[in-house]
Amino acid sequence: MNIAIIGSGPSAFYTVQSFLREKPLTNIDIFEKLPAPFGLVRYGVAPDHQKTKNIIRLFTKYLNENNVNYYGNVEIGKTISLNTLSDIYDAVVVSSGAPEDKGLDINNNSTVQIYGSAQFVGWYNGNPIHSKLSPNLNSQNIIIIGNGNVALDCARVLAKTKEEFYQSDIMQYALNSLNKSSVENIYIVGRRTPKDAKFTISELREMADLKMYKPEVDYDEEEMLKVLDSTDIETKVKKNIEALIDFKKFNATSKRKIIFKFLSTPYKVINENGINYLLLKKNKLLENKIISTETIEKISTDLIITAIGYRVSPIEGLEIEPNRNFFVNSKGHIKANIYTNGWASGASVGVIGSNKIGASLLVKKIINEVSANKNDARKKLLEYFSNNSISYITKSDWKKIDQIEIDSAKENFTRNKLVDIKTINNQLEI
């Protein structure tokens, strides 16, 4: 069987894992838009969460298998069409994730920068698409919208000192900018209550361990205690609320703060007398329902980061569902011999390992539904590349890049990522 996988992040590599287990002799070709592999693990996971990034070791083991090949810097729909892949291979699996930001419907009548977390995270992680971002870190207040783990990642990275990044692979250009930051308050804004926050406890607790910033919680303690008293409280919620109550002891003791704000819906950015403000419409809790009020809170800021979830990048030939979040599919099947899994196939929620079960089920489905009758897939692909003068990053190129990145890491850091294809090509020629 000859399989093409689009994307090289967690859902792609768990698909490889399942094929190697179910049908060990399958030829698997991985196509990645960016030069380097590993998608969300390389460009999404926070640089100071190296333990999470360790999954790259397992993915590398699969990449090193003889029947697995890698074509980096190849964008489906641009470098080669989806139809061509579908013709050449027995099945195509779209595991391209959700690398774009969901938009926040907000009126911006000012010069304030509004970046999505894919952009901001991509910037500090050296994603070639976002590496040229220039976030304004001279703002006294930075506002992060969203109450998920990505909001916590962004806040933590904004707050850490250089030393707190030791043993990470943060980009040096980002670290230099962050070091010069004059930000005093990092707001994390949720439209609902602490009970509704999607934080996980270990990520939330990290906020209390920061050297320079301390957490502050702008929410009534009595209300939080009431939630703790209820009998049907989930353990995850209980732990989060206990942590937020704990954070209250830090209130007003630090010049630099991470301020958790709840029941606040962002709706407008304005400029008044040369100062940019985000206006938040305050909500209230009435008989367990969240009601919008006419009360407005105004926070001055020059940088807003939205961490409100992700959506797919379009691929020519694939339909996207009406909210534009993922590709239309029926239990992983898109059309003909094209399938999908991971964040490309549904909501952008869950951790890296959450992709494992989905990948395993999809591989079983493909093996059941697809008959292997396409021969010489790899030969045909290479002919196509050669006839169209397409150059790409191979598996052995990546091995060299990987070694260069590790060898050129600055003291106290784990890796010096090569960002753009020009630098990579220069390095490969040396």
- Interface segment toward ligand NAP; rule CB under 6 A; list 125-133, 209-217, 296-304, 349-357: 349-357
Return the residues of window 141-160 that contact ligand NAP according to CB under 6 A. 145-151, 153
Cα–Cα distance, 284 to 292 (Å, whole number)? 6
Considering the complex, what minimum distance in angstroms separates the CB of residue 146 from ligand NAP? 3
257 φ/ψ angles, rounded to the nearest 5 degrees: -135, 155
Helix boundaries (H) for 370-420: 377-387, 395-407
| Helix H or strand E segment including 77 | none
Considering the complex, what minimum distance in angstroms separates the CB of residue 40 from ligand NAP? 9
Considering the complex, what minimum distance in angstroms separates the CB of residue 143 from ligand NAP? 11
**What secondary structure letter does DSSP report for 143?**
E
Cα–Cα distance, 208 to 262 (Å, whole number)? 18
User: Binding ligand NAP by CB under 6 A: which of 86, 113, 185, 348?
Assistant: 348
Return the residues of window 250-279 that contact ligand NAP according to CB under 6 A. none
Lateral strand order in the sheet of 185-189? 113-116, 303-306, 141-145, 185-189, 256-261, 213-218
User: Binding ligand NAP by CB under 6 A: which of 350, 388, 420, 422?
Assistant: 350
Maximum C-alpha span of the chain: 70
Considering the complex, what minimum distance in angstroms separates the CB of residue 345 from ligand NAP? 15
Considering the complex, what minimum distance in angstroms separates the CB of residue 165 from ligand NAP? 16
Site string for ligand NAP, 83-122 (x = CB under 6 A): ---------------------x------------------
Helix boundaries (H) for 257-394: 355-369, 377-387
Does residue 192 bind ligand NAP (CB under 6 A)?
yes
Does residue 291 bind ligand NAP (CB under 6 A)?
no
Radius of gyration of the chain (CA): 23
- Interface segment toward ligand NAP; rule CB under 6 A; list 70-78, 197-205, 209-217, 379-387: 197-205
Cα–Cα distance, 265 to 67 (Å, whole number)? 51
Return the residues of window 297-336 that contact ligand NAP according to CB under 6 A. 307-309
Lateral strand order in the sheet of 2-6? 68-72, 27-32, 2-6, 91-94, 338-340, 333-335
Considering the complex, what minimum distance in angstroms separates the CB of residue 338 from ligand NAP? 25
Which CB, 103 or 314, lies closer to ligand NAP? 103
Only one residue has tokens 């206990």, namely 242
Which CB, 29 or 153, lies closer to ligand NAP? 153
Considering the complex, what minimum distance in angstroms separates the CB of residue 105 from ligand NAP? 7
User: Binding ligand NAP by CB under 6 A: which of 203, 302, 397, 405?
Assistant: 203
Considering the complex, what minimum distance in angstroms separates the CB of residue 380 from ligand NAP? 37
User: Binding ligand NAP by CB under 6 A: which of 65, 75, 87, 196?
Assistant: 196
Cα–Cα distance, 99 to 129 (Å, whole number)? 10
Task: Give Cβ neighbours of residue 349 (< 8 Å, ≥ 6 apart).
Answer: 309
Nearest Cα to Cα of residue 410 among 83, 140, 166: 166
Which residues contact ligand NAP by CB under 6 A?
104, 145-151, 153, 190-192, 196, 198, 200, 203, 307-309, 348-351
